[in-house]
Amino acid sequence: MTKIDRVPDTKQQWFKDAKYGLFIHWGLYSILAGEYKGKKTDHISEWIMNSLGIPAEEYEKLAKEFDPTEFNADELVRRAKEDWGMKYIVFTSKHHEGFAMYHSKVSPYNVVDATPCGRDILRELADACRKYDMKLGLYYSQSQDWHDPNGYVSHANGGEDQLKDDNDKKDFQYYLDHKVKPQLKEILSEYGDICLIWFDTPMGMTIEQSRECVETVKSMQPDCIVSGRVGNQLGDYMTTGDNFIPRLPFEGDWEVPATLNDTWGYNKDDNEWKNPDDIIRLLVKISSRGGNYLLNIGPKASGEVPKESIEILNTVGRYVNQNADGVFGTRRIDVYPYELDWAEFTGKDHKLFIHVFKPRKRLEILNCGNNVTKAYVLRDGRELEFDVSPTCEGDTMINVELPKDLREEKNYCVCLELEEVSPVFEPL
Ligand code: H79
C-alpha cells in the first residue's frame, strides 16, 4: 500500500462506503460549448474564458442567454440514484469563471439575478436530492475567480512570471473575506445538508487562508467535509489529479474526479467518449484501492445531458445495480499479489468479490489465506462449484467452475464467502 505522512480521514461513514458519485459541471461556459466568436478552444471547455482571453465585461453578457428550458433536476437526480446507482452528487456552485449557479446576495453575478430565466438551479437540485435521499456536495472555486478583480487567475498566455505579477497586485484576502467566505455561508445555510465542499486548485493560498475556508465550512455544517484541494494538506480527504488513478491501494479516504470524454463543461466538438466497460473496470479498481470515483457530466446550456453520457452511465449503472454488494461498502484490499488482465477484486468482511471482465473457462485465483465456504454469481445468487488445489510454490489456488453460459460472458461478479474475515482486507 502507498504510505503517506498524514492519513486523510473524513470520519464520515457515508464517504467511505459511497464509491460512486456524479460530478456536474454547468455554468456560462456551457453556452459557448467550446467556441467563442468562431474560435475553438483546444482545452477543457470550462476554461474557455481564460484560454481565449475573453474579457470579463464581454463574458458576463452570456448570462443574458442562459435559459435552461430542458433542465429537469428531478429527472437528473432520479437517474443518478436509480439508473446509475450513484451515492452522491457534486455540483459546480461557482467555477473559475466566477458565476454563481444559485441565488447569491453577495454578488449579482448569479443565475437568478443576471439571467432572464431567474431560476435558482441549486435550489432545484437541492430539492430533488432531498426527495430522492441523495447526498449533495458543492464544488466551489475558492482561489481562481476570473470575474472578481481580486480572484486569482491561472494561465499560460502571459507566462508564469506575468501571471505571478498580475496575481501579486490583487488583494486576495479581500476577495476571500468579501466573496468566498460569504458565499460559502450562503450555500451552507440556504440549501439544507451539504455533504461536502469540493474546493479546487489552491494556487497562491497560504495555510492560513486554506484554514479560513475549512473553518468557514465547519462553522456552518460541522459534518460537511472538504476536498484535498482546499490546499496546504487541510482537506478531509485526498483528491487525486483529474482522471488520475493510484496504481496501488492508497491509505485513508480519497477520490478520483474523472471525465467521460476530454472536458468537464460541455464541448460540442468533444466526441472522445470512454468505453463503458473501461469505466466499470475503473470503478471496481478504484474501490479495491480504497477510493471513490466521481464521474462527470457536462449538461448543455439548455440543461440537456448529452445522450452519450446518459448511455454510458446507463450501461455502467446496470452493472453497479446488479452487483451493488461487490461495490458499495467495500474496503481496500491491502495486498493481492497479482494484476490479472481478466479480473479485479473487491472485498468486505467475509466476502471476496471477483469482478470478471473477460470470458474465462474457469476462475483460478490464488487463495488469500482463508477457507472458502461458498461461491455464487452475485447478480442472481446461483451457486458455483469450486475446489482448492496446491501450487508448486506451496500456495493454494481456488478454482471456481463456471456453467457454460457464463464462460462466454464478461462483466459479471462472483462472490466467494470466506470462513473468516480475510486478512487481505483492511479491518472495518
Ligand atoms: O473543474 C475541473 C477543471 O476545470 C478544474 N478541475 C476539474 C475538476 C481544473 N482546474 N485546473 N485544472 C483543471 C488544470 C488546469 C490546467 C491548465 Fe490549462 C493548464 C490551465 C492552464 C494551463 C488547460 C490548458 C486549461 C487551460 C489550458
Establish if 206 belongs to a structural domain.
yes
Please tell me the distance from the alpha carbon of residue 44 to that of residue 65, in angstroms, as a whole number. 21
Mean pLDDT of 335-343: 77
Residue 95 resides in a domain: yes
Pocket flag, ligand 1, residue 242 (CB < 6 Å): yes
- Indicate if 215 and 354 belong to the same structural domain: no
Say if ligand 1 is within 6 A of residue 203 CB.
no
Q: What is the structure's pLDDT at 99?
A: 98
**3 in any annotated domain:** no
Over residues 59-68, the pLDDT tens digits come to: 999 999 999 9
Do 322 and 361 belong together in one domain? no
Range from 157-161, 167-171, 296-300 carrying the lowest mean pLDDT: 157-161
Domain of 143, CATH number, reads 3.20.20.80
Q: Look at the pTM and tell me if it is higher than 0.90.
A: yes
Contact predicate 360/403, CB 8 Å:
no
Cβ of residue 199 lying under 6 Å from some atom of ligand 1: no
User: How much is the pLDDT for 392?
Assistant: 83
Question: Atom 20 (ligand 1): residue with closest C-alpha?
Answer: 155
Q: Which residue minimizes the CA distance to atom 4 of ligand 1?
A: 46
Ligand 1 contact, 46 CB (< 6 A): yes
The verdict on 19 and 140 lying in the same domain is: yes
Q: Are the beta carbons of 403 and 413 closer than 8 angstroms?
A: no
* CATH assignment of the domain containing 412: 2.60.40.1180
pLDDT at 221 over 70: yes
Are both 313 and 352 inside the same structural domain?
no
Q: Kindly state whether residue 332 falls inside one of the protein's structural domains.
A: no
Q: What is the Å distance from ligand 1's center to 168 Cα?
A: 21
Pocket test for ligand 1, best of 242, 255, 293 (most atoms within 8 A of CB): 242
- Average pLDDT, integer, range 85-101: 98
Same domain, 350 and 316: no
Ligand 1 geometric centre to CA of 155 (Å): 9
* Residues 351, 244 share a domain: no
Task: Please indicate, yes or no, whether residues 356 and 321 belong to a single structural domain of this protein.
Answer: no
The answer to whether residues 374 and 315 belong to one domain is: no
Q: Show the domain range for 379.
A: 343-418
Percent pLDDT > 70 in the chain is 93
Q: From the CB of 255, is ligand 1 less than 6 Å away?
A: no
Does 292 share its domain with 404?
no
Domain final position from 326, 355, 380: 326
Q: Are residues 248 and 378 in the same domain?
A: no
Say if 423 falls within a structural domain.
no
Number of structural domains (the chain) is: 2
Distance of CA 96 from the midpoint of ligand 1 (Å): 10
Point out the domain boundary residue: 326, 353, 371.
326
Is pLDDT at 196 greater than 50 in this prediction? yes
The answer to whether residue 334 is domain-embedded is no
Give the distance (Å) from ligand 1 centre to CA of residue 255: 18
Mind listing the pLDDT tens digit for each residue in 163-173? Answer: 777 788 899 99
Answer for the pair 112, 66: CB distance below 8 angstroms, yes or no: no
155 lines ligand 1 (CB under 6 A): yes
Asked if the structure places residue 93 within a domain, the reply is yes
CB 289 within 8 A of CB 246: yes
CB of 47 shorter than 6 A to ligand 1: yes
- Lookup: cell for 215: 473553518
Please tell me if the CB atom of residue 264 comes closer than 6 angstroms to any atom of ligand 1. Answer: yes
Cβ contact 19:330 at 8 Å: yes
Per the domain annotation, does 266 fall within a domain? yes
Shortest-distance Cα residue to atom 7 of ligand 1 = 242
47 CA from centroid of ligand 1 (Å): 7
**Which atom of ligand 1 lies nearest, measured to the CA of 296?**
8
| Average pLDDT of the residues in 64-78 | 98
pLDDT confidence of residue 5 = 73
Closest ligand 1 atom to residue 46 Cα is: 4
> Hey, whose CA ends up nearest to atom 24 of ligand 1?
43
* pLDDT band with cut points at 50, 70 and 90 for residue 3: low
Is there a single domain that holds both residue 225 and residue 353? no
Final residue of a domain: which of 277, 292, 326?
326
Q: Do residues 176 and 106 both lie within one domain?
A: yes
